[in-house]
Amino acid sequence: MKEKNFKIVSAEEAVSHIKDHDTVIFGGAGAGHAVPDKVMAALGKRFQDENAPRGLTSIHPCGIGDNDTRGLNHVALEGLIDTNIGGFWGNAPKMSELAKNHCIKGYNFPQGVLSHLMRASASGKPGIVTKVGLKTFVDPELEGGKINSITEDNLVSKIILDNEEYLFYRSFKANVAIIRGTSIDREGNLTMEEEVGFFAMLSIAQAAKTNGGIVIAQVKNINNNHVDPERVKVPGVLIDYVVQDENQEMTFISNFEPALVKRDASYVTEELNLQGLKRIVSRRAALELYKGAFVNLGYGMSDGVPIVAREEEITDQLTFMIEQGATGGIPTTGLNFGAMFNPSSIVDDGYQFDFFQGGGLDIAYLGFAQIDKKGNVNSSRFGNVLTGCGGFIDISQNAKKVVFCGSFAVKSEQEITSEGIKITNPGKFNKFIDKVEQVTFSGDYAIEKGQEVLYTTERALFRLTPKGLELIEIAPGVDLEKDILNMMDFTPIISEELKSYSKKIFLSDKLKLKDKFQ
């Protein structure tokens, strides 16, 4: 075997090999989690300097960006991008603006589906068949995952197998893979020892190579030794160009945080302190935990649940899992979401989604923006805000139990005491509406599958029934008529056994979940 099948080049030279109308797949996720940011910046600059390449199709299974200028925001340029296909759009506002203004064509597909499509593309399969996305905005009978009216090609279709409905997602022909790792050895083998997730790097690289394309890898370290084979995440034989960034950060937020990749490293973070509404919602939601459960957390309000579990000293009796591939630790919060403190393991996200889509999760805690009378949830697009679904659909449709977590209304004001909650301003906008603007979670589909579904807020707890939403608990101090029913566009079923939230939720003391787990 040759010692060097790859070339070490500048980021500028690497992106010079990208041609007009290429399909480019970007690895990484979120706010710098294994994001090849230096290469992405060079691609954007090349276009601004040379007006080339033009008309690219960009694909990213995960969202990539810092909600401002980095990640996909580097390449969100009219003329450079013709079509963007992504699992999450929310942290790349410049790309979202292009789509909303009809400057590019765009698709939003579930993150797990896109990760699996990387494998399908690598192996020459025409696509994947799955139930993920049925009766949501991805379903061709609704929106087909299309972002705007200029997006016309149908990339997903409905098929019948053994008298059951499935969705068929078409795979892609990749010309360029842009991936990232921590180091390469003398043969170009890529390792990811400082990366918070492995994502679909191997599948993305394979997808480009089997199609006769090129692979560009950004790394922090270039070593002259041979790495142990079991540590290799992407074989050097698949890599064409290597770009070194000696200042490569672990994430956009942290240069290097050992606790994000090591089981026993210590960590201290102010993010793991719950305040206000989030504390109340997280503590009520945490009452649904039980010993031995496999638990997933979504971004936003729901990521407070593992903080409660940590306070209650029960994390050793649960298994937290996140779609980016980490298992067994405490998920990070905020912009750094997608990493995990003290993970027990990290696997490629495609394998994690195998488990999720197969029904392995016992409980999923997810956020919401809107909920309607049928129990549908919108977390992907509302008003002029385009965020996308990420792994929400893969997870919510297949977990045995789903607990949605969020504030009851937009811009409400309240006083929280040890006795309960007093609403001083019920809110500016209702979140419980007659019909959601986009269906990210289908209440009808959940009923068909027999899922247990709860909707948790600081004021009230609802559950999904075949007849619609049923109000089953309210917080002490809350006025049923004024603070709940008057702030809903529909009237829920009110349980004959309507209960009050346990007052211990509002206290500073522990919930004593550890006793429950004995």
263-299: b or e for each residue (b if 16 or more CB lie within 10 Å)?
eeeeeeeeebebeebbbbbbbbbbbbbbeebbbbbbb
Among 220, 214, 307, smallest CA distance to 269 is for 307
Q: What is the DSSP letter of 187?
A: T
Say how far apart CA 72 and CA 302 lie, in whole Å: 26
CA torsion angle 239 242 246 248 (round to 10): -60
Angstrom distances, CA of residue 112 to CA of 130, 322, 348, 483: 11, 12, 11, 38
Residues 6+ apart with CB under 8 A from 481: none
Q: Are 334 and 400 in contact (CB under 8 A)?
A: no
The catalytic residue positions are 323
Say how far apart CA 288 and CA 364 lie, in whole Å: 11
137-173: b or e for each residue (b if 16 or more CB lie within 10 Å)?
bbbbebbbbbbbeebeeebbeeeeeeeeebbbbebbe
